[in-house]
Structure 1
Amino acid sequence: MSKIGGIPGRVRHTVSAAHGRPIRHVCLSARRDPANPAAADTFYAEDDEAGLLAFLSACHATDTVVITPNSVIRAFPPAIREQLTRLPLIHMASGQLSFILQDSEVLSHLDFIDTYKVSRILCLSDMDMSFHRQMGIHELTKIRLPVATRSHNAYSPDTNRFVTYVGRIDFHTKGAERLVPVARQMKERGLPPLRIFTTDSLNSPDLQAFLTLLDEAGVRDWVEITYNVTDKSTLYGEASVVLLPSKKESFGNVILEAFSFGVPVIAPSYAPGPAEVIRSGEDGFLLDDFAAGKVVDLLESLSPERLTALSQKAFARHHDYSMEQYLTALETIAAEVATNFPGQNRFRPFPKLKPAEVLTTRLRQALAEIKSLERSLYIVERDIQNMKASYSWRLTAPLRRIRAKLNRKPQQ
C-alpha cells in the first residue's frame, strides 16, 4: 500500500530526508496523489508541464542524473520523456525481473522495450541480479532500500502478543489467501486472533473474496481486520511476529518496518526480498513451504526467551538499511554514472524475448493481410457500384428480370 510503503512513499521520504544535502534531490511526478499534499522539490507534470520542461531544459548531463523506478518513465508526456532520456538514466529495478516476465504487460510494448536505454541498473537483491545476468543484462549495482531507523526497541513478549499481517489483500502476489488456513489452525490451537492491517481501497483487489473465505472457514471471529492505518507504532507496537506470505516479493518494506520495531518476520524462502534481508533463525524465519501447519507449528515453538532474542537481532538488523546509507549510495552511484556518461544511454534494462518478437511479427503480418483484403473488397464493391450506375446496366437490368419471370416453370 502506498500509504504504508512502496515506491511513492519511498520517493517522498527520500526527497524529504535529502533536504539540505550538497546534492539536490528532486521528485518528478506524472500525476498528483490526492492523498498527499504538494511537497517541496516536487514537480507535477499534469499541473505544470511547461514549468517541468523549463526545469529540465536547465539540467545538464554532467550534473543531473535521473533515477526511474521500473518503467514509470512511460507515464510522462512525450516532451518530458525526451528531456529525461537525454540525461543519464539509472533504472531502479524495484520489481523482480522474473515477476515482470511472468505477469507484466510491459514487455509486449516492443517499441518501448527496444528504445528504452539506461546507464545503470539498480537491483534490490543478489537473486534478482543473478536473474538479470542470466537474461544477458549487465551494468548492475545492488542497493539497500531505506527504512526510518529507531533508537529504542520496546519489544516485549508481554505486550507484543499478536501475530500480524501488514499489506494489501492480494492473492496473486501477496498470497493473502494463505492467511485463512493459518487463522483456522490458530483458532483450533487456542492462539490469540490474527491481526490484519490492510486497505479497503483498490489496492486490495481480493478483499471481498478474502472475507468470504474467512466466513467459509468459520474464522471471521478470529481475524481482526483494521483498514487504512498509517501509524507505524499501531501497526507493529503489539505484534509478536509479522507474517509475509508473499509468492513474489522484490524487497519487502514491511520486513524493515517490522524490524525497526524489533518484530521478527516469517516469510517464504523463495521470494528474493525476504531471502536478502531475513537471516533465518536469527531475526526471523524463511520457510521453503509456507503451509499453515508449518507456520503454526513454528509459532507455537517460540518461547518468550526466543522471541526476545529474535527481536534484538531484528532491531539491530534494521540499522543496516538507514536512510543515510541509502542517500550516500544513490549519490555515489549517480556521480559515477554522470562522470562516465558517453552522451547517450546505452544499456537495455529489459531482455529481448524471441517469442514475443515472433508473435508481434505474426500479428503485424495478419493485420497487413486483413488491411489488404479490406482494400480488395473495397475495390470490388466500388466496381460493382460503378457498373450498376452505368447506362448499359440500367437498360439491361429490367430485361433480365422479365426473362427470369418468363423462365419460371408454372406450378403443378
Structure 2
Amino acid sequence: DLVQEFGAQPAKVDVVPNPIDAARIRARGAEMVEYPFAGSGRCHLITVGRLSPEKGLDFLARSLAGVDRGAFDWVIVGDGPERGRIRSLVHEAGMEDRVHFAGMCENPWSLMRHADILVHPSRSEAFPNVFGEAFALGLPVIASDCSPGVREYLSDGACGILVPVGDEGLMAAAISALASDPETRQKLARAGLERVVELNPEASVANFEEILREAGNG
C-alpha cells in the first residue's frame, strides 16, 4: 500500500505481520461452546469482524443467495451498524434458517473451531489478523482480493481463495466449489498451518530485530 499510494521505494519497505499466538488460539478454541448448526450435515461458513460497510457482509449475503441453500449455513460473529441491513438481506434471500447472528464474542475461536470455511468479503482491508487465527485452527479462507496485504497474507492464493471485490457470481462459485470439496479444504488448511508458523511471536520479533539491524547499518 505504501508503494502504491505514496510512491515508496519497494526495496525500502519491509512488512512485519502482527504475531499470531497459535498455541493460545488453539487452547481457547478448544473451550466448549454450543455451535448453532452442529450436526446439520452442511458446510459451516463463518465470518468474524465488525458489521460495517467496508467489511462487505452485504456483498456476501447477496452472493450466498446464489448458492444451494442446502449446502451451507453461516455464523456471523461481530456486531455493528450494518446488522439490520444484513438481517434484511438474509430475510429477503429466505436464508433465516441457515444464518445465525452470534454478536460480539469474547472467544470467537471456539466458534471458528467448528466451522469449515472462514469467508472474509471485505471491500477494504490491511493485514487481517483473523486470517492467522483461521490458519491456527486449520480453517481454509475465502477472501475478497481487496489489497496487497490480503494477497500477501494468503500467499497469492496458496493459503486461501481470492475473489475479485464485489463479484457476487465468483464469490458464490468459490463457496459452492470449496463447500463440496473437502480435499481442497484440507490442502488449504495444511498450507495455512505452515504459514502460521512464520507468524509466531518469536519469529516476528526476530524479523523486526533484523530489520532494525539492517536499518542501523544502512
User: Normalising TM by the smaller chain, what interval?
Assistant: 0.7 to 0.9
1:181 to 31, 41, 62: 62
- Give the percent of matched residue pairs that are identical in Structure 1 and Structure 2: 25
Amino acid at match of 2:186: T
Match of 1:295 among 149, 171, 181: 171
Looking at structure 2, the residues matched to 132 and 224 of structure 1 have their Cα atoms a distance apart, in angstroms, of 38
Among 183, 206, 211, the alignment partner of 1:328 is: 206
Aligned pairs, number: 202
Deviations 1:50-73 (A, max 9, x none): xxxxxxxxxxxxxxxxxxxxxxxx
Aligned: 1:194 with 2:74: yes
Secondary structure, in 3 states, of the residue corresponding to 2:90?
helix
Q: Match for residue 17 of structure 2?
A: 144
Q: Which secondary structure state, in structure 2, belongs to the residue aligned with residue 226 of structure 1?
A: strand
Q: In structure 2, do the counterparts of structure 1 residues 144 and 182 end up closer, same or farther at CA, with 3 Å as the change threshold?
A: same
Q: Distance in 2 between matches of 1:277 and 1:193?
A: 26
Distance apart, 1:132 and its partner CA? 4.9
Separation in 2, partners of 1:133, 1:323:
29
Structure 1's 242 and 190: CA in aligned 2 closer, same or farther, altered over 3 A? Answer: same
Unaligned runs of 5+ in 2: 30-38
Distance 1:214 1:146 in 2: 35
Larger of the two Rg values belongs to structure: 1
| CA displacement, residues 315-367 of structure 1 (integer Å, 9 cap, x when unaligned) | 11111111112222334445666x68xxxxxxxxxxxxxxxxxxxxxxxxxxx
Higher RCO (CA-CA < 8 Å; seq separation 6+): 2
Residue type of the alignment partner of 1:168: R
The aligned amino acid for 1:321 is: L
Q: Matches of residues 12-411 of structure 1 in structure 2 within 5 Å?
A: 128-134=1-7, 140-150=13-23, 161-171=43-53, 173-186=54-67, 188-199=68-79, 204-280=80-156, 282-302=158-178, 303-334=181-212
Q: Give, as a single letter, the amino acid of the residue that structure 2 aligns with 1:180.
A: A
2-side partners of 1:284 and 1:318: how far apart?
Answer: 13
What is the CA–CA distance in structure 2 between the aligned matches of 1:336 and 1:299, rounded to whole Å? 43
| 1:131 aligned partner, one-letter code | Q
CA distance in 1, matches of 2:121, 2:18: 20
* Partner SS, residue 190 of structure 1: helix
Q: Is the 8 A contact 1:265 1:284 kept in 2?
A: yes
Using the size of structure 1 for normalisation, the TM-score is 0.44
How far apart are the structure 2 equivalents of 1:183 and 1:225? 15
How much has 1:241 moved relative to structure 2? 1.0
Aligned to 1:377: none
Structural RMSD (CA)? 3.0
